[in-house]
Amino acid sequence: MIYYVPIGAPLLALVAAAIGAASSGRLSRGAARIIEFFMVMAVAVAVAAGTLLGTSGAGTSPLIGSHGLGFAVRLDVISATMLVLVSFVGWIVVRFSLTYLEGEARQGRFMAWLCFTLASVLTLVVSGNLVVLVAAWSLTSLGLTRLLIFYPDRPAARRVARKKFVIARLSDGALITAAALLATHYGTGDIAAIGAAARGNADGMGAAAALLAVAALLKSAQFPVHGWLTEVMEAPTPVSALLHAGVINAGGFLLIRFADVLVQSPGVLAALVMIGGFTALFGGLVMLTQSAVKTSLAWSTIAQMGFMTMQCGLALFPLALLHIVAHSLYKAHAFLSSGGAVERIAAFRRPGPVAVPSPAAVGRAFVIALAIYAIIGSVAAIFLGQSPQALALGAILIFGMAYLLAQGLADAAPRALTRRLALIAAIATIGYFTLHLSADWLLGGSVPLPRVPGPLEWVLIVLALVTFGIVAVAQALFPLWAYHPAAAGVRVHLANGLYVNALTDRLLGGWRVQNTSITKRLSA
């Protein structure tokens, strides 16, 4: 019965949602405090579930249902980590919302849908059966859509809600079909049993793996269906924080949860690497051209989810889970503090001129950064048994350190800055391997280990290294050619996301005209 404990967190969030629904207008101070109390209790339940995991081990609750399908809760390292993360971020977002929307005429309704969405995500991460997983997956989209059209009189809010509705239904369809294939093939809906049966057994479930990947890619706003994520700014700020720090991670969670199924399909993993890697590059480049803080953060999320997808494609599932945790905490803080960001930057006074590195300085920076990484990476590979995939991913991350080193190696930069940035690069490299080893240890045998790369994997690894390296060098050299007319044109095209989102809007144009009643029903 102890494995039913995790379901207490989403139940508490549902109670908070009911309190908000009962006060559909402005919330009284007492009601607001009760809502926050229930969310704090949800965090406490999540921590208690993690403690139970340490004392009793992983397990699934008894099934309430028949023929292997029904209601069941799963407690393991993956679910416990996500449960603590989502409940904690949810509590912070709820606490912020109670102040942010104080006095709003429909504050109670907003809090009801916010807590309902949190309850759906919490149920998703502890689901132990395909039935629960699919239901929570769909309900999460329903709650998010309601939040996106909290201000239904805003045309931009209605547009993004319609776009998200289409993409969410496609994602739901892919997941439902994948779940049906898995349940039929393995004769059960128990997620842990499916993983155990798939482990080390390439039994032709490539179709289910592909559909799982499609559902995750659609949920995590991967190219080319990423556009809706950049248009959610018409909703209140807490919605952006919840979306970017919680809901968007559902795709990554799905890939990690069904890692044993995915690793049996090298083609699916290769597709994840290519789509995720391209999305990471595309989102990162567009992010640099955005002038609005929240829009830039949205493109950052697209890039981060792309990088996380690439990690899953390389079978680095522990690192992907670590990425989800780190990104969620960072992005929740970034959105909730974005209101004062412009004022703080405007008040900041630069101590002197900006040092622009020359091509020679950029070259030296990359050589030094890669040398630091080669030394530390060699030690990690020899003594810690790091996989080639992990080493390659670390090399991609070190390109960011090379960019910082280039600033320190500029002619106008003081030597103290150069030494400090070189030390930071070394610490970051050590930190990468330390965190990766910690994640590997934490997940233990919960997810499969990366296989020895074959020809296809090596091609993808080399392609990723070369592509990310070229982009990093171009970024470091950007100040030297930023005022060239060609650069101005490229910047305009990137600022508009290469117009991919405009094409999506055009494709959905006819659908929008014929289905405005859907939005009206959603906003009712």
pLDDT in tens, 109-126: 889 999 999 999 999 999
Are the C-beta atoms of residues 126 and 10 closer than 8 Å to each other? yes
Confidence band for 355, pLDDT divided at 50, 70 and 90: low
d(CA 24, CA 104): 10
Helix, strand, coil tally for the chain in percent (to 5): 80, 5, 20
Query: Please, is 6 exposed, middle or buried when counting C-beta atoms within 10 Å of its C-beta (0-12, 13-18, 19+)?
Result: buried
Q: Which residue type sits at 513? A: V
Q: How confident is the model at residue 523, as a pLDDT?
A: 44
Are the C-beta atoms of residues 118 and 90 closer than 8 Å to each other? yes
Residue with tokens 């404990």: 5
pLDDT exceeding 90 applies to what percent of the chain?
31
Confidence band for 374, pLDDT divided at 50, 70 and 90: confident
Are the C-beta atoms of residues 176 and 137 closer than 8 Å to each other? no
Strands (E) across 276-369 are located at none
What average pLDDT does range 478-486 have in this prediction? 71
Q: How confident is the model at residue 9, as a pLDDT?
A: 93
* Domain boundaries defined on the chain: 1-128, 150-337+499-524, 353-481
d(CA 467, CA 453): 19
pLDDT in tens, 421-471: 777 777 877 887 788 788 888 887 788 878 788 888 888 888 888 888 888
For residue 500, what are the CA distances in angstroms to 120, 158, 425?
31, 19, 36
- 65 pairs with which residues across the strands? 70
Provide the terminal-to-terminal Cα distance of the chain, rounded to the nearest Å: 40
Q: How confident is the model at residue 518, as a pLDDT?
A: 42
Per-residue tokens: 452: 């020895």
Query: Please, is 214 exposed, middle or buried when counting C-beta atoms within 10 Å of its C-beta (0-12, 13-18, 19+)?
Result: buried
Angle of helix 250-257 relative to helix 293-313, nearest 10 degrees?
Answer: 10
Confidence band for 353, pLDDT divided at 50, 70 and 90: low
Per-residue tokens: 476: 């470091």
pLDDT in tens, 128-141: 999 999 999 999 99
Reply yes or no on whether the pLDDT at 487 is more than 90: no
d(CA 70, CA 131): 6
d(CA 277, CA 222): 10
Please tell me whether the peptide bond between 479 and the residue prior to it is cis, using omega within 30 degrees of 0: no
Per-residue tokens: 511: 């659908």
pLDDT exceeding 70 applies to what percent of the chain?
89
Reply yes or no on whether the pLDDT at 193 is more than 80: yes
Reply yes or no on whether the pLDDT at 194 is more than 80: yes
Q: What is the DSSP string of 305-320?
A: HHHHHHHHHTT-HHHH
Which candidate, 65, 221, 76, places its Cα nearest to that of 141?
A: 221
Per-residue tokens: 325: 């945790």
pTM recorded for the entire structure: 0.88
Instruction: Pick 6 or 398 by higher pLDDT.
Output: 6
pLDDT in tens, 499-516: 887 787 777 664 443 344
313-341: b (≥16 Cβ within 10 Å) or e: bbbbbbbbbbbbbebbeebbebbbebeee
pLDDT in tens, 203-261: 768 899 999 999 999 999 898 888 888 887 777 888 888 887 778 899 999 999 999 99
Q: How confident is the model at residue 272, as a pLDDT?
A: 95
Within 8 A by CB and 6+ apart from 227, the residues are: 163, 497, 500, 501, 504, 505
How many CB atoms within 10 Å of residue 12?
Answer: 25
pLDDT in tens, 390-408: 888 878 877 777 777 776 6
pLDDT in tens, 140-187: 998 888 888 888 788 877 888 888 888 999 999 999 999 999 999 998
- Tell me what the pLDDT averaged over the chain comes to: 83
